[in-house]
Amino acid sequence: MAIELKRVDEFAVVTLRRPEALNALSFALIEDLGRTFDQVGGGDARALIVTGAGDKAFCAGADIKELVGRPLMAQKRGAETGQAMFAKLDRLPMPSIAVLNGYAFGGGLELALACTFRLALPNARMGLPEIKLGLVPGYGGTQRLPRVVGAARALELILTGRTVDAAEAVRIGLANRLVDGDPVAAGIAFAREFSRYSLPVLGFAREAVTRALDTPLNEGLKVEADLSTLAFRTEDAAEGMAAFIEKRAPRFHDR
């Protein structure tokens, strides 16, 4: 299998396993990723960690050999399929963390951008080099990258196709943190900073921030009011406030 899904404690871990191809995204692998994300979404994991096998690449991008000579409509359907599979990450009921170990180029970086968070090992290298092939990113890169690093930096990276190292990625906000050691262990350590909180409330917070990117401030404030009200009505909110007053750790039950 080119994709491994396993459970580590309360977390789901997805590993791309095509090290001989630097974990490149074939069309079959993209379809398998979509099914894997559906499986994770139907489970009870507290977070999803995504990484790549080996120490050379998280994911080196699309399998270029599959792109050569494709009819126009087949290429469009391929882009739409990739976008749809990666969009499943946005809809997961739990946060997702991409741990970038090595190359994350093209579709590999687009996969990472679809995750809630990105952690970079010191050897991580990121970029959207499609312009060098006479192409444009097609799996969400032109839309998600500006939302992460801003329009000016996104245009620079997309139009030059240049590579960003781990330190620069953290500096410009492309990666949340620089980490070291085992990628899965690093992802789990990061996830444990929020995984003890209520999953429904974490979801409300994620949705509120995401909606801020697509709405004017006055409309976004209405969304925030609605979602904060929903959070207030959960059993976990009652438990959290009671625990604060009683000076004890809260016991959340995702209700």
Give the tens place of pLDDT for each residue, 168-220.
999 999 999 999 999 999 999 999 999 999 999 999 999 999 888 888 877 87
Tell me the pTM.
0.89
Q: Which range, of 7-16, 116-125, 173-182, 214-223, averages the lowest pLDDT?
A: 214-223
3-state SS class at 13: strand
CA distance 155 to 12: 34
Amino acid at site 47: A
Secondary structure (DSSP) of 80-107 = HHHHHHHHHHHH-SS-EEEEE-SEEETH
The pLDDT assigned to 1 comes to 65
CA distance 42 to 148: 27
Residues 6 or more apart in contact with residue 190 via CB below 8 angstroms:
97, 117, 119, 176, 177, 179
CB 15 within 8 A of CB 53: yes
Q: Which residues are catalytic?
A: 110, 130
The pLDDT assigned to 193 comes to 97
> Check: CATH 1.10.12 for 199-245?
yes
The pLDDT assigned to 101 comes to 95
Q: Where are the domains of the chain?
A: 3-191, 199-245
More confident residue, 185 or 21: 185
Strand 57-59 and strand 103-105: the pairing is: parallel
CA distance 5 to 83: 21
**Residue written as token pair 């398998």:** 32
Class for the domain spanning 3-191: alpha beta
3-state SS class at 15: strand
SS3 for 51-66, per residue?
EECCCCEEECCECHHH
The pLDDT assigned to 238 comes to 85
